[in-house]
Structure 1
């Protein structure tokens, strides 16, 4: 029987050692870093902190205190906005999804809401709704991403309709919102921004264009707007393939941890995992880690995906199963059952590196963690 380490158990968690640690102090640091990338002074852009998808999987309730320095929060839908109000956020809230049906207007029971409007019917729904708190609205330009929004030819008619509602007091201010498809590229916003600016030329109202990538790579254009909307970088991941979060001065706000729960000595030529997806080239020790695709770790992560065992970098072997994965203990010959495992976000193993190995992005890993993975606050926040 392999020797066993005394396992680490964060207070208040279940017996299974897999858990996430959330670092609100890192979120506060990242917010300050993004704020510092903008010009100072009275004309400085204001900042929406994007907290959709439960703060990118980190938990709005866990990180809200770290976002008090933001000028507003940005969510996907009205239920998320109401949840932020219940948690005590009193400032403006931008609702990216706007209204999905006329009935959504009944959920607009709080002041200082900002709705993104993407098609003309939403304006009609607002016109017919009994709104106790008229929202500000932001007309979305379809731009070069072509997900939702008004085309260049339809935009001015939508603006005129919105301004008519504003004059009647049905809604508040009317702003202009765009989202770039290629903001992570050096030349990714120039042409798209020109089309947007030409479309809104002569139309009064505030402007918002910049997500994390646009803010960090195209700061001069971000400075020429009234609101920026970072999301990914707030939580400590880089939006760029060629620049790490550490190089950008960002700190990871989530780390994922587990333990070695079994050790197998595998013969040369033997398969590891379902389908024998990895074949041992020689006799080797394989560690079994409790974390699988039912926890949100990507099943498609290939052999070679980096993992840390007892602080030593090693690799995933074979196919991730529902509840566990196999790792190479060759670089960690001293590892015992109970040895700590870092899956991402701490000890130099960036979430972007793991995501890139699995052919995805950091936000996909964060938001894919399932409800069976407990999370707890780390650092100074845990003591408060």
Structure 2
């Protein structure tokens, strides 16, 4: 492909971020969360980069789990939503893949199993997120039923926090979860990225770092560098044209930006079809040849515009970092009314990807 756009993944940064998270964690083990193709960073590349560091991997679908096994990953693997049907429960046993059990239907699927070895199960509690899991009062019966099955071996009790990243904190959910966890005698898995950095009482036996592995902060008031992380993803594209504006000239669809003084703008080979958010506002941060600048006008399908008025050296062929080390993804997300997680996961397949390291 000759279109000048690329997504670069820095695998040494992922390793650095894992080590940084380990240094902040009191959890006995850390399972790297690699769902959604490792938040857009490539599940196989990421797992291989962390193969000698991570105690295990957590993801969503069994197809990716099997890919990791077939690629030689031997560490424990856990499916965060467990099996989606009886056949998947059977496959989990065959490939030594653990999984969350959050419903009576999943227990029924396990009970039908005929595999020669039991499936490792993690009992999931709904402590307040109200998506998946047994309520605390339902947990003893669910655990007893699981423990009665020869097709299952229940090792862990887990929950997920809704507000570990903000001022509300985790106290309410932890107060519901902790007594049930203690009574179960199982290993505890509760801490996500935010909890690993702010709530040490929740770290337990298995922490589940996700966004921090990829260099972004889980907290609205900081970027990854503020907590010792390195961005692992850089989306960049080149300037393909330069326009000169006079006062009153508009840029792009809808005249969302109108110049109030003479300007130079660069047209960049990236648009919303590449995964850059259409809703990004004027001034959303970019870096042109490493120098700070901002978006002007509405993002279109294949192009966007950036301000070059203060960058006389910039022109056709200049590289524009849409997010990365010089344009933190958290700031781009904030300017777009979203979060860094979504931007990472939304880069389109048409963007060429390059993994370094």
TM-score (norm. length: structure 1): 0.89
1:370 pairs with one of 332, 342, 348:
348
The separation in 2 between residues aligned to 1:244 and 1:24, in whole angstroms, is 19
Task: State yes or no: 1:315 paired with 2:310.
Answer: no
Q: Secondary structure at the match of 2:152?
A: coil
Q: Which sits farther off after the overlay, 193-202 or 91-100?
A: 193-202
Q: Deviations over 1:149-180 (max 9, x none)?
A: 11122222111111111xxx211234210111
Q: Which sits farther off after the overlay, 297-306 or 94-103?
A: 94-103
Q: Which sits farther off after the overlay, 105-114 or 44-53?
A: 105-114
The 5 A counterparts of 1:134-213 are 134-165=118-149, 169-213=150-194
Structure 1 counterpart of 2:2: 15
Q: Secondary structure at the match of 1:297?
A: coil
Task: State yes or no: 1:87 paired with 2:71.
Answer: yes
The separation in 2 between residues aligned to 1:61 and 1:17, in whole angstroms, is 25
Structure 2 counterpart of 1:48: 31
Distance 1:295 1:253, change over 3 A: same
The separation in 2 between residues aligned to 1:82 and 1:267, in whole angstroms, is 58
Q: Secondary structure at the match of 2:300?
A: coil
The separation in 2 between residues aligned to 1:33 and 1:234, in whole angstroms, is 9
The separation in 2 between residues aligned to 1:308 and 1:29, in whole angstroms, is 24
Q: Secondary structure at the match of 2:306?
A: strand
Task: State yes or no: 1:65 paired with 2:48.
Answer: yes
Distance 1:91 1:178, change over 3 A: same
Q: Secondary structure at the match of 1:125?
A: helix
Q: Deviations over 1:135-162 (max 9, x none)?
A: 2111111112111111122222111111
Determine if contact 2:288/2:320 at 8 Å carries over to the other structure: yes
Determine if contact 2:69/2:95 at 8 Å carries over to the other structure: no
Determine if contact 2:240/2:266 at 8 Å carries over to the other structure: yes
Q: Which sits farther off after the overlay, 253-262 or 241-250?
A: 241-250
Distance 1:52 1:87, change over 3 A: same
Two-structure CA RMSD over aligned residues (Å) = 1.4
The separation in 2 between residues aligned to 1:153 and 1:38, in whole angstroms, is 30
| Post-superposition offset of 1:61 | 2.3
Structure 1 counterpart of 2:243: 264
The separation in 2 between residues aligned to 1:251 and 1:88, in whole angstroms, is 27
| Post-superposition offset of 1:15 | 0.9
Q: Which runs of 5+ in 1 are unaligned?
A: 1-13
| Post-superposition offset of 1:106 | 4.1
| Post-superposition offset of 1:60 | 1.5
Structure 2 counterpart of 1:3: none
The separation in 2 between residues aligned to 1:335 and 1:296, in whole angstroms, is 24
Determine if contact 1:30/1:250 at 8 Å carries over to the other structure: yes
The separation in 2 between residues aligned to 1:341 and 1:104, in whole angstroms, is 44
The separation in 1 between residues aligned to 2:216 and 2:2, in whole angstroms, is 30
Distance 1:106 1:112, change over 3 A: closer
The separation in 1 between residues aligned to 2:46 and 2:352, in whole angstroms, is 16
| Post-superposition offset of 1:38 | 2.3
The separation in 2 between residues aligned to 1:328 and 1:15, in whole angstroms, is 24
Task: State yes or no: 1:281 paired with 2:260.
Answer: yes
| Post-superposition offset of 1:115 | 0.9
Q: Deviations over 1:98-140 (max 9, x none)?
A: 1112232343354431110111110011010222332211111
The separation in 1 between residues aligned to 2:110 and 2:164, in whole angstroms, is 32
The separation in 2 between residues aligned to 1:341 and 1:134, in whole angstroms, is 52
Determine if contact 1:111/1:135 at 8 Å carries over to the other structure: no
